[in-house]
Amino acid sequence: MPNIDRCRICSSAHLYYFLDLGSTPLANSFVRPENAADPEPRYPLQACLCRSCGLVQLGYVVDRELLFKDYIYFSSTSETIRKHFAALAEEVLEEYVREGDLVVEAASNDGVLLKNLLGKRVRALGVESATNIAGVANDAGVETINEFFNSGSAARIAATRGRAACILACNVFAHIADLHDFVEGMQTLLADEGTVIIEVPYLCQFWENLEFDTVYHEHLSYFALKPVIRLFGRLGMEVFDARELPVHGGSIRIYVQNKGGGRRPRTDRLATLVDREQKLGLGESGTWDFFARKVQALRGELVALLTDLKNNGKKVAIYGTPAKGNTLLNYCGIGRDLAAYAVDGSPHKQGLLTPGMHIPVYAPDRIAHDKPDYLLVLAWTLIAEIIEQQEAFRKGGGRFILPLPNPKVI
């Protein structure tokens, strides 16, 4: 059952529930083989639309300490992500900071972005809640405070380091239960003429690509621009630009400044994106009823495809075990009867079992030895990188299965 009854942006009680993915384990709670018989905690996974401001959000919030204090996702695992953040760091250096300025990243993970600023003309500081990951970042030379970013930690940084010319928040905004407190922290820490840069999965792409696998307990909100503009506007800040990005299956980079102190006018690009959201009907309940029906149909199609391959003597393995992939496996009920095993490039997942479905995870080199016929690509947002890595598999006759937006064999 939901444990929230009001929108986390506008406090409206007009929440419309449209998607129920069942009761699932936490998407990054991989299981040790010796604990496979132990019961796994499960939590409702339901999405709703705020009919007042248009925010799509989860109706059940899991304690953040369970989700983020000991975390298994390391951003540096993917070459695609490393290149993406290197380019963002270059943009920050060229456009938004001067020599000696402070750059702060909220939820800085293992320092994959900030390490690109080391040795440059700025001061870089990470704020990371996961103790294990903050330790990795500090060991790599990226100064990182092991805390959640919020109004309290932001005030302490401002008091001891001064205010920041640029605040970065990549793939964290969707994780925040108290968005007002988070934005208040940004307002406290940001210099008068400073810039906030946020990256989040974009609701337009979520809708167009049927990205229901993006729904898991860490992702509390699914953002279009309209509710984001409303949130920052209520707290004395303004969105002045936004651009779409291909990363993570379709994201948006949002640029924010202080009202009055900002130097940059709103761009035509921002207006165009807001207009697109309106035309798609992202604030309408009927739009999301249609989405939910398509998700149900996709489940049937994917399970039918995997069952048919099994009945024809074909062996299917899974490539990549991202959090989104575990949503898909649990919702579709795909276990070892349909997928023999999974491989993942992260050593932190290898040797473990996937949450809920308990599919064993190995290193990618198992594919060359085992030679499955098909790879179900759960890390489909990295498909170009994966195809390049698995060129030998493809040349040997192997095929890839992409699950979204419709199951497809390539």
Of 3.30.420.40, 3.90.1580.10, 3.40.50.150, 3.90.1300.10, the CATH number of 75-283 is: 3.40.50.150
- Least-confidence region, from 58-72, 210-224, 334-348: 58-72
Q: CB–CB of 198/227 below 8 Å?
A: no
Alpha carbon of residue 224 to chain centroid: 14
Residues 351-379 have pLDDT tens digits of 999 999 999 999 999 999 999 999 999 99
What is the DSSP-derived secondary structure letter of residue 110? Answer: T
Q: Which amino acid belongs to residue 33? A: P
Reduced to 3 states, what is the DSSP secondary structure of residue 222? strand
Given pLDDT bands bounded at 50, 70 and 90, which one contains residue 262? Answer: low
The pLDDT, as a whole number, for residue 247 is 82
pLDDT above 70 for 82: yes
* All residues at 6 or more sequence positions from 308 whose CB lies less than 8 Å from its CB, including other chains: none
Strands 374-377 and 361-362: unpaired
Domain with CATH 3.40.50.720 in the chain: 286-409
Cα distances (angstroms) measured from residue 191 to each of 41, 96, 127, 150, 361: 43, 12, 18, 16, 46
Rounded to 5°, angle at Cα 352 from 347 and 403? 85
pLDDT above 80 for 64: no
Q: Whole-angstrom Cα distance, residue 326 to residue 214?
A: 10
Q: What CATH code would you report for 286-409?
A: 3.40.50.720
Domain with CATH 3.40.50.150 in the chain: 75-283
CA count, 13 A, side-chain hemisphere, 15 = 23
Residues 266-292 have pLDDT tens digits of 999 999 999 999 999 999 999 999 999
**CA nearest to 24, candidates 313, 288, 218:** 218
Mean pLDDT confidence for 82-93: 95
**CA nearest to 308, candidates 373, 405, 353, 379:** 373
Whole-model pTM: value is: 0.91
